[in-house]
Amino acid sequence: MHTVAIADVPELEVRAWRNWVKAELLQGSRPVILYGTRTSETRVALTMVLQRGDGGLDLIRTSVDPTTGYFALSEVAIAMHAFERELHEQFALRLTAHPWLKPLRYEGGTQADMARYPYYKLEGKEVHEVAVGPIHAGVIEPGAFRFMCHGETVHHLEIQLGYQHRGVEALLGRGDPRRHTPLVETIAGDTSVAHAWAHCAALEALAGVALPSEGEIARALMLELERIAMHLAGLTGLAADIGFLQGAATYGRLRTTAINTSMRLCGSRFGRGAIRPGGAGVGLDDGARDAVRDACALLRDHLVAIDALFLEARSVAHRLRGVGRVNRAMATQLGLVGFAARASGVDLDQRRPARGAYAAVPLARTLETTGDCWARARLRITEIAASLGWIEAALAHLAPMPADLAIGALAPATIAIAIAEGWRGEVVHVLETDAAGGLARHKVQDPSLRNWLGLAIAVRDNEISDFPICNKSFDLSYCGHDL
């Protein structure tokens, strides 16, 4: 959570800004987000947010004429590629020497534009291409994949997204931001809680309202239930994709237990309605606490057996070990976030250093080092256990929620940045107000935006038949990316 008056954010002339950001990136500063805000017909304000090792954020702004733009930062730090592609698409910002200036989500584009996606070409006598999508062979969201192969080996995978683009940011820019939470909960429907929390935290910060600790803990409880449920959903899919059906059946069944606990608490299996500006719609009477305790006990008891079976089965290890590997250096370079980063040994988790609910109740650290499908699966198993442990410890701190706090006037000319560590990774909401305290910009970032390129790199030099498990192991959102 970071709130700062726009006047206090250092602003540099665009070339100086670019050089400053470049120097920071080369020294290993981690980019959180770079986004644009239109300030006039001919100017766009660019805000760069970097995160220090202690979790603190540094902001730096510039104002740019989109027709002149600047020399792309992606050229020195590939982790910037998605931000700059977005700026190019949203503001027609000129980015000289961007190595990968391809359409991101076809915001305002047409179907004819989509048909002209500039795929890379691999040429040679024994080279072939495989195109899949946008509709896939399952009940999942759409996106197009093109594999450039030599025999069974994938040399490169290009991922073309944008099919899910609805226009979320346009809608968020209209009307009263206090009433946007139901919409925010559908930015990525499997991450409803993390998005709602980040959105509400940013609004509360702008209104100068601080939630009492029982409110923070209730929100974290919903977030950890969401994490458990979606990690179980991911393990279900992974087990199904490698034909380990006992795992698929059991993890799928246990996900029901997790989401039904969310439903018992807030009326929705996806935690919708659990978090609202200034409060939470979580019922935490004794009966609800007992239901949470019983669900945790059942999950622990049944997971012990199925986890052991999954991790000990030779067939599982054979399919997952060494497949879809992203090493730590590459994960850092690509700017991966969330469990995909932690599986590659990048110790990045917005719940640590602990603040708020996670300071009141500590959370076990989770990390893997091998960066393959096995690491991502194993990490999800340990993260489920860590979240269960957190919930069990938090039960003692759970109390019925006080009445919702009123969200009054928003601080004028201020930027509030809230980051929630969703199950996939960091969910970022940035709210900017104008001089009158009205909403000037609501920027949303789902972790998927940062991680799709990680999947493309993971698949390189792997067999094309292993793509489904690589894809499932990253478990990324299409609509969260496409907005």
Partner 1 sequence: MTFKLLTLRVRQDQGEQFIKDLRAARPAGFRGLPVIDTTPCATGCDACVTACPTAAITAAPLALDLGACVFCGECARVCPAHKIAMTTEVAMASSARAELVVHEGPARRPPIDVAAAIRKAFGRSLKLRQVSAGGCNACELELNALANVNFDAQRHGIEWVASPRHADGLVLTGPLTKNMQDAVQLAWDAMPDPKFLVAVGACAISGGLYRDAPGLARDFLAKVGPLVFVPGCPPHPLTVAQALLDVMGR
Please, what is the minimum distance in Å from the beta carbon of residue 119 to partner 1? 17
Pattern of binders to partner 1 over 292-331, x per CB under 8 A? ---------xx--xx-xx--xx------------------
Residues near 338 by Cβ (< 8 Å), separated by ≥ 6? 348, 421, 422, 423, 424, 425, 426, 447, 451
Which residues sit opposite 426 in a β-bridge? 421
| The total number of residues written for the chain in this structure | 483
User: What is the layout of strands, in order, in the sheet containing 127-132?
Assistant: 127-132, 144-150, 153-160
Of the candidate spans 25-33, 35-43, 110-118, 342-350, the one that interacts with partner 1 by CB under 8 A turns out to be 110-118
Residue 437 binds partner 1 (CB under 8 A)? no
What sign does the dihedral 326-332-333-334 (CA atoms) show? positive
Pattern of binders to partner 1 over 355-394, x per CB under 8 A? ----------------------------------------
The residue whose two tokens read 């009966």 is 287
Contact 275, 197 (CB under 8 A): yes
Please, what is the minimum distance in Å from the beta carbon of residue 371 to partner 1? 25
Contact 379, 326 (CB under 8 A): no
Residue 165 binds partner 1 (CB under 8 A)? yes
* Interface with partner 1 in residues 273-292 (CB under 8 A): 273, 281
Of the candidate spans 261-269, 347-355, 365-373, 406-414, the one that interacts with partner 1 by CB under 8 A turns out to be 261-269
Distance CA 109, CA 107 (A): 5
- Which of 35, 70, 83, 106 binds partner 1 (CB under 8 A)? It is 106
Residue 186 binds partner 1 (CB under 8 A)? yes
Select 13 or 294, whichever has its Cβ closest to partner 1: 294
Residue 263 binds partner 1 (CB under 8 A)? yes
E-strand stretches of 312-437: 414-421, 426-433
Residue 252 binds partner 1 (CB under 8 A)? yes
- Which of 35, 163, 467, 474 binds partner 1 (CB under 8 A)? It is 163
Distances (CA, A) of 422 to 159, 192, 339, 346: 23, 9, 9, 16
Select 26 or 170, whichever has its Cβ closest to partner 1: 170
Residue type, 234: G
Residue 253 binds partner 1 (CB under 8 A)? yes
Of the candidate spans 13-21, 177-185, 340-348, 432-440, the one that interacts with partner 1 by CB under 8 A turns out to be 177-185
Which residues sit opposite 4 in a β-bridge? 415
Residue 454 binds partner 1 (CB under 8 A)? no
Residue 256 binds partner 1 (CB under 8 A)? yes
274 conformational bin, left if phi > 0, alpha if psi -120 to 50, beta if neither: alpha
Number of residues this chain uses to bind partner 1 (CB under 8 A): 66
Select 111 or 465, whichever has its Cβ closest to partner 1: 111
11, containing H or E segment:
strand 11-12
The vertex-145 CA angle with 241 and 164, nearest 5°, equals 95
Please, what is the minimum distance in Å from the beta carbon of residue 25 to partner 1? 32
Please, what is the minimum distance in Å from the beta carbon of residue 138 to partner 1? 7
74: three-class secondary structure by DSSP: coil
Please compute Rg for the chain using Cα positions: 22
Residue 142 binds partner 1 (CB under 8 A)? yes
- Dihedrals phi, psi of 244, to nearest 5 degrees: -95, 80
Residue 111 binds partner 1 (CB under 8 A)? yes
- Which of 99, 138, 208, 353 binds partner 1 (CB under 8 A)? It is 138
Comparing C-alpha atoms, which of 105, 163, 101, 102 is closest to residue 132? 163
Distance CA 95, CA 431 (A): 25
Comparing C-alpha atoms, which of 259, 142, 257, 272 is closest to residue 195? 272
Please, what is the minimum distance in Å from the beta carbon of residue 105 to partner 1? 8
Judged by the rule CB under 8 A, the positions of this chain that interact with partner 1 are 106-111, 114, 134-135, 137-142, 162-168, 170-171, 174, 179, 182-183, 186-190, 192, 233, 236, 246, 249-250, 252-253, 255-256, 260, 263-265, 267-270, 272-273, 281, 301-302, 305-306, 308-309, 312-313, 477-479, 482
